[in-house]
Structures are given as structure tokens and as C-alpha cells.
Amino acid sequence: MTSKQQYTLIATCAAGLEDLVAEEIVAFGGTEIVRAKGVLTWQGDLASGYRACLWSRCASRILLQLADFPAADDTELYQQCGVIDWQKHLDLDTSFAIDCTLSDSAITHSQFAALRVKDALVDQFRERCDGERPSVQAERPGVQIRLHIHDNQATLTLDLSGESLHRRGYRVESAIAPLKESLAAGIVALAGWQKDIPADTVFLDPLCGSGTLLIEAALIYGDSAPGLGRSYFGFLGWKGHDASLWDQLVDEAVAREEAGLDRPWPQFLGYDADPVVVAAARKNIEQAGLSEKIRVKQGQLANLKRPADKGFLVSNPPYGERLGELDEAVQLYRALGRAAQTEFAPWQVSFFIAAPDFADRFGLSWSASHRLFNGPLACRLFCAQPRSVEAESAFVWELSSDAVSGEDLQDVDFANRFIKNFKKINRGCEWAQREGVSCFRVYDRDLPEFNVSIDMYGRWVVVQEYAPPATIEPELAAKRLSLVLLVLRQVLGIRRDRIFIKTRKKQKGKEQYQKQSSQKKMHEVREGKCFFLVNFTDYLDTGLFLDHRITRSRIGRLAAGKRFLNLFAYTGTATIHAARGGAESTTTVDLSATYLSWSRMNLALNGYGGPAHVTVQEDCLQWLDTPRGHQYDLIFVDPPTFSNTKKEHRVFDVQRDHGRLLELAMRRLAAGGLLIFSTNFRKFVLDEDLGQHFAIQEISRETIPLDFERNSRIHRCWEFRHRLEV
């Protein structure tokens, strides 16, 4: 066999990468290319096959066809394989392995089909070599033979690659469910990255995992053959192997790589929130010989900034596995989309996701979409060039042009009071317009006959109807609620579907924890630089306590560099403020799996994750009472007035149990730390004994927002410190 002999060669690849592999085959000297899903066949000499093994970035395997014949049953398969002169391909001392795949075949067992090929090969050797035969070796055999039968037509090939070409040899550490290197290279290429990209262009992966996208992008730019790092190929033990030709191609590849390394390089930057993952990426980068070319750091998505005017942001964000739940991944997509719009125009941004239905959550206009497969999982690569926009501002309500006064509205008194309150809030609260606060209370049972509270949540309005006294006829109460809704629509010019009604009444036992609905519809609102998810239908509360706005802001200002603990965390809104304020770490504790999932979604929505932001599902008192070494610099304790647990049948009563709760929490407070305690129980009396052990200062008045000033006892709040430190 000579290197000029023409062969039928086959490349397999992940579905969706066929066009890229076809371009490679042309560059390798291939002709007569025939494409099918995940398979390309071409005519080429041995150099063409070798180049494919050495240089293909997107192919999975390179096969050299030995024979193609009908195989209606195992007897015909055996006979046809016996015709092949196996001594042209291997010697007695050459180990071999046979692998088989079947599709629409009369032979239904792949292992049996492979066994019949082995029998034909072995029997031929025994007949010609005095009973001797080569041995089978499953791992890295000298010759790897592959049989594929489709519609009773068999194709027998020699696997030139030996192992899948995605195994470049540089991956020593991997994150959970890493991308195959061949797929990663395809993603990078489809995103538009090429080896002739200007050196002042940055390649950035903000969620880099084990660093595969970064490494493949660097290999492309450096003109580095991905096969140079491999020590094993399937042709090395093949009798037709041309060692001198292979050495020549390797020398050529080494020269090209050296030239690529010597030219000016762009920045390759990667970030991940998990330090263990960052360490794994660095090991892979070092193994690939690119430590001086790629920088990977621990960092939160929330802190991501554009490092240069031009660049490519390419990422494979988690879609369930790393965040635990798809819902949390979807919120991360929103955070990525927000970062792309505010920080990365006019960069090229590309996201590879396994949930194409959620592409709209990024909020981007996609310029291209590529359907790819990650194993059996149908995925999409979405590409865009974001428009330059400023940081998102909070939604600001405006009164309808017809609502200058309430004179022409259905109920003059209520309308006038609502308009007066609305103007006061918008005029007097700097946090509403200057600080990006979109959620506040406008009306709080100001008029006895209109026993409702009205809260604005961004573009939505929540009306809380309180149960009327027994002296009020239900029909009259219903009529007044209808008037309230009519006035709101007239004054705000709002559609009916943006107004949500919640009915509050005195509840007992488990009633207070029952779900109101199961729509699971979340809406995004803003408070300063924090974004929260609220639910207007499923629960009595929305997921955001508006009266704690100042307290949350206070926590954010105090959190820089601190270890923050949030007890009875609810949906984790205080945790988000602490993280945004620069907390070194946060721990969020709540017994409810629903609220902790909500907390994780809020974290993801704001671009926070990894081991620095831990959520713990446990009874707070029990968790505090378990010996642990963790200390915290800032603690927020906001327990419910009353709660019970289903499993242990424990009952928490804030008046009865707050003393023990605070004593346990103060054990976790580090020297010089601060604990903030808040309660909404109107009849609450702080245990006087606590003052003997701790320095306590009530800050209730300072934490009541302007929109709750009529209800100054909406909550009470104290600061606790260790007494010896005052």
C-alpha cells in the first residue's frame, strides 16, 4: 500500500457539525464528499486520513473502509468477512478489537455480529498460520475494527482514530457533565471565532467550567493541531501504516503550532464561581500548554464587566445539573442576558443551551441559531450582537392623563386619597426613582370603608382585601372592592390582567400555609441593584416583604467583606442585598424547600452561585443548636410570628421562643459582628433578660419606609452586639 492510494474514508461527528467537518475534509485534500446526519464519506489518500486524525477539531472518529457488502444473516456476514485478506492489516502479534452497531438489521444482537466477524478473522489466521491467531484486546488494541449494519448492508472499517478524537489528551480534571472537546470546538467555530481574529479581540467564557471552550478557542487561534497531544491512534498498529508520512505530518503540525505561539495573542479569559472548578480548569489549561495564554479566575457573574471594546463571549451555561433545577438555570439565563445587554455591546455573544424553549429568557434578539446535539440531548447554540443599552432602570408608574383629580371618577373620596398618596410617594421617596425601587405601597386602609392595601410591583398592582367586620354586608364589601378596581384602572390606565387580588382573613393552624393557586408564574421586579422574583397568585404573600426594604438596604451597606447568615430566610431577598453589597459569603437557612428553591432562583437571577452562597433546608432553631464551627459577621433574623413543622410537629411562637432563638444565633456571631432581629408581631415584647447579655438597640423607626409610615408598627427591629465589644 502506498500513501498515494485512494481510500474511502468516513468521518463521524455530532449531529449539527457536518458543515464544519466537510470544510475540514476539503482542507485535508478530500474529494467526492457525501454527507448524512453525523456521517461524512469522502475519497482521499492516506495523508488525507492522517490529517483528519491530526487536525480535525469537530469529527469524532476517522474510519478507513475495508469492505462493503450485504449481510442478510450471520452466515453471510461470516462468509463475506472471510473473503477479506486480514494479513494485509494485522500480524499474529497485533491485538485487535471489534465493535458493532446495528440499524434495521436482520441480525439483532450487536455482540453476536461482532463475534461472527472475529470468528472469520481468527479462522482465517488459524488456517494460514498453523493454528495460531492474534489476540483480542478491548482497551487500545493494535487494530480497532468497526462493523456497521444498516438495512442488511454491512460496512466494515478500520478505526484510524482508535479512540474518539474528542480525547485531545489535555483534560486531566473535568467539571460535572463537561462538553466533549469536539463539540466545544464546533461551538467556538459556529460562534464566529477563527484563527485570523485580530489580536485585540478578547475571548471570554464567564461560566467556564473545566475550561474546554477556552482551550479549544486558543487551539484554533494558535493553529495548534488537536491531535498533537494524543499518544494513541488506531492506525499505529495497522500494517498499512506509513510511519514516515505520519512523522512528516506531525513535524509540519509542530512547526505551525510554534509559529502560532510566537505571534501576538488576544486575551482568553474565564470565570467560574466554584474555586474547585477553577482549579480543574487551570490543570487542563496547563496540560494543554496554554497557561501563559489563558487566564481563569474565580468570579461571580454578577460582577462581570466588559474587559475590552471587542470580543466574543461564548458560554455553555448550566441547564439543570449544576444548579440542581431547570427553574434556577432559567433565571441564570436572565442574568446572562442582562449582562450581555448592559456590558457586552457590540461584542458577539453565543450561548449553548439544552433547553431551546427558554432562549427568550435571555431577552436578546438572536442573529443565528444552530441545532446541535450533546450526546442524545438536542441543544441549540444561539448567537447575537447585543444592542448597546444602559443599565436597566426600574419601572416608574405615571398617572393617567385623565386622573388629575378624582372628581370624575366613580368614588371621589377613594380616588382622591389614592392619587394624593401616589403623588406623595413618587415625589418624596428618592428610592423609588433615583435608587431603582419599583415596589412600594400606595394605599393602606386609609379610609375605613375601603379596607384594602394597594401595592405596586413594577408593572403590576396587588390589591389585598381584608375581611370586613361582621357589621358590613358581604354585598357592600364586594361593591366597594369593585369600585377600587375600577378606580385603579382609570387612574393608572392599567389592564385588568395586571391587577391581582389577595384576600386576607384571620387564619388558624395550617390554613395560613396553604397554597392559593398553582400557576407558578413568576414576575421579575427590581429593588435598587437587586432583582427579585415575585408570585401574585400561588401564595398569600408575594415573596417580597415591602416593609423590610430599608432593612435590606441596610444589610447591603453593611455586608462588604462579611460572612452573612440569613435565618428564616423566606425567598432570600436579604441574601441578595448582602451579596450585592459585597459579602464574602452567604448562608441562607429555611425549613421550606419551596422558599429555598425560590432563594436559589433569586441568587441565579442576580448572577450569584457556587459554594460562596449556600442554602440550607433545616429548622433554624435545630440548625443553630447543632455544634458547628462557622461564625458570621452579619446575621439577619426575621422569624414568622407562628409556624409549625409537619414532620416533627414542632411549633414556633416568636413571643415564646425568641429568647432562645437569639441566644443561639448570638453564639454564631463573630467578634465585632452585628445581628439584626425583626418581627411583624404587633404585640411583641422583647425579653428583658436579653439585655443583660447583649448590647441591644432598637432601630424600628429608622427601618419603616415612607410608604408604611401610617402603619408604624408594621414591624419592629433591633440591633444586637456582644456586650464586651461596645
Residue 396 has pLDDT above 90, yes or no: no
Entry pTM? 0.91
> Do 211 and 137 have their domain in common?
no
Distance CA 659, CA 639 (A): 12
Q: Note whether residue 29 is domain-resident.
A: yes
Q: Note whether residue 459 is domain-resident.
A: no
Average pLDDT, the chain: 91
Q: What is the CATH number of the domain that holds 320?
A: 3.40.50.150
Q: Note whether residue 49 is domain-resident.
A: yes
Q: Note whether residue 289 is domain-resident.
A: yes
What is the Cβ-side half-sphere exposure of residue 240, based on CA atoms within 13 angstroms? 26
**615-627 average pLDDT score:** 93
Judged on CB neighbours under 10 Å (0-12, 13-18, 19+), 335 is buried
- Compute how many other C-beta atoms are within 10 angstroms of the C-beta atom of residue 685: 9
The residue type at 334: R
State residue 176's pLDDT score: 63
- Higher pLDDT among residues 1 and 657, named by residue: 657
Residue 25 has pLDDT above 50, yes or no: yes
- Which of 367, 384, 401 terminates a domain? The answer is 384
CA 104 and chain centroid, separation: 39
State residue 517's pLDDT score: 54
DSSP character string of 427-483: HH-HHHHTS---EEEEEES-STTS-EEEEEETTEEEEEEEPPPTTS-HHHHHHHHHH
Distance CA 332, CA 391 (A): 17
Helices and strands per DSSP (H, E), number in the chain: 18, 29
pLDDT-based confidence at 177, cuts 50/70/90?
low
> Do 117 and 207 have their domain in common?
no
Task: Please list, in sequence order, all residues whose beta carbon lies within 8 angstroms of the beta carbon of residue 507, skipping any fewer than 6 positions away.
Answer: none
Beta bridge partners of 453: 444, 464
> Do 207 and 343 have their domain in common?
yes
For the segment 347-359, what is each residue's pLDDT rounded down to a tens digit?
999 999 998 888 9
- Which of 384, 399, 433 terminates a domain? The answer is 384
pLDDT-based confidence at 423, cuts 50/70/90?
confident
Task: Please list, in sequence order, all residues whose beta carbon lies within 8 angstroms of the beta carbon of residue 622, skipping any fewer than 6 positions away.
Answer: none
Q: Note whether residue 136 is domain-resident.
A: yes
Task: Give, for 291, the enclosing helix (H) or strand (E).
Answer: none
> Do 94 and 130 have their domain in common?
yes
Q: How far is CA 345 from CA 192, 384, 487, in A?
A: 16, 10, 42
Find which of 179-188, 479-488, 708-717 is predicted with most confidence, using mean pLDDT: 179-188
Quick one: CA torsion of 183, 184, 189, 193, rounded to 10 degrees? 180
Task: Please list, in sequence order, all residues whose beta carbon lies within 8 angstroms of the beta carbon of residue 593, skipping any fewer than 6 positions away.
Answer: 617
- Compute how many other C-beta atoms are within 10 angstroms of the C-beta atom of residue 173: 16
Task: Give, for 11, the enclosing helix (H) or strand (E).
Answer: strand 7-13
Q: How many domains does the chain have?
A: 3
Q: What is the CATH number of the domain that holds 100?
A: 3.30.2130.30
State residue 432's pLDDT score: 63
> Do 191 and 297 have their domain in common?
yes
Q: Which spans in 130-274 are helix H? A: 181-190, 212-221, 243-262
> Do 91 and 196 have their domain in common?
no
Percent of the chain with pLDDT over 90: 76
For the segment 49-82, what is each residue's pLDDT rounded down to a tens digit?
999 999 999 999 999 999 999 999 999 999 999 9
State residue 1's pLDDT score: 42
pLDDT-based confidence at 397, cuts 50/70/90?
confident
> Do 207 and 147 have their domain in common?
no
Residue 387 has pLDDT above 90, yes or no: no
Residue 427 phi, psi dihedral angles, 5° rounding:
-85, -40
State residue 190's pLDDT score: 98
> Do 705 and 608 have their domain in common?
yes
Nearest CA to 538 out of 519, 561, 560, 563 is that of: 519
Q: Note whether residue 113 is domain-resident.
A: yes
> Do 188 and 150 have their domain in common?
no
Residue 603 and residue 613 in contact, taking contact as beta carbons nearer than 8 Å: yes
Q: Note whether residue 496 is domain-resident.
A: no
The three cell numbers locating residue 506: 384571620
For the segment 536-575, what is each residue's pLDDT rounded down to a tens digit?
999 889 999 999 999 999 999 999 999 999 999 999 999 9
**668-677 average pLDDT score:** 97
Average the pLDDT over each of 118-122, 162-166, 480-484 and give the range with the smallest value: 480-484
- Higher pLDDT among residues 345 and 313, named by residue: 313
Distance CA 192, CA 478 (A): 61
Residue 7 phi, psi dihedral angles, 5° rounding:
-125, 160
Percent of the chain with pLDDT over 70: 91
State residue 394's pLDDT score: 58
For the segment 499-543, what is each residue's pLDDT rounded down to a tens digit?
999 987 655 544 444 455 556 799 999 998 999 999 999 988 999
Pairing of strands 153-159, 202-205: unpaired
Distance CA 295, CA 266 (A): 11
Distance CA 624, CA 665 (A): 6
CA 34 and chain centroid, separation: 37
Average the pLDDT over each of 174-183, 281-290, 411-420, 589-598 and give the range with the smallest value: 174-183
CA 497 and chain centroid, separation: 31
For the segment 73-115, what is each residue's pLDDT rounded down to a tens digit?
999 999 999 999 999 999 999 999 999 999 989 899 999 999 9
Distance CA 558, CA 562 (A): 8
The residue type at 90: L
- Which of 325, 357, 384 terminates a domain? The answer is 384
Distance CA 585, CA 615 (A): 11
Residue 581 and residue 555 in contact, taking contact as beta carbons nearer than 8 Å: yes
**374-398 average pLDDT score:** 80
- Compute how many other C-beta atoms are within 10 angstroms of the C-beta atom of residue 650: 14
State residue 319's pLDDT score: 80
For the segment 270-309, what is each residue's pLDDT rounded down to a tens digit?
999 999 999 999 999 999 999 999 999 999 999 999 999 9
Task: Please list, in sequence order, all residues whose beta carbon lies within 8 angstroms of the beta carbon of residue 228, skipping any fewer than 6 positions away.
Answer: 54, 250, 253, 254, 257
Residue 324 has pLDDT above 80, yes or no: no
Beta bridge partners of 494: none
Residue with cell 444589610: 555
State residue 392's pLDDT score: 57
State residue 102's pLDDT score: 93
State residue 509's pLDDT score: 46
> Do 35 and 146 have their domain in common?
yes
What is the Cβ-side half-sphere exposure of residue 573, based on CA atoms within 13 angstroms? 25
Nearest CA to 214 out of 137, 122, 278, 167 is that of: 278
> Do 627 and 666 have their domain in common?
yes
Q: How far is CA 505 from CA 431, 468, 469, in A?
A: 31, 9, 11
**365-379 average pLDDT score:** 93
Distance CA 465, CA 450 (A): 9
For 681, the domain range is: 545-725
> Do 43 and 88 have their domain in common?
yes
Q: Note whether residue 340 is domain-resident.
A: yes
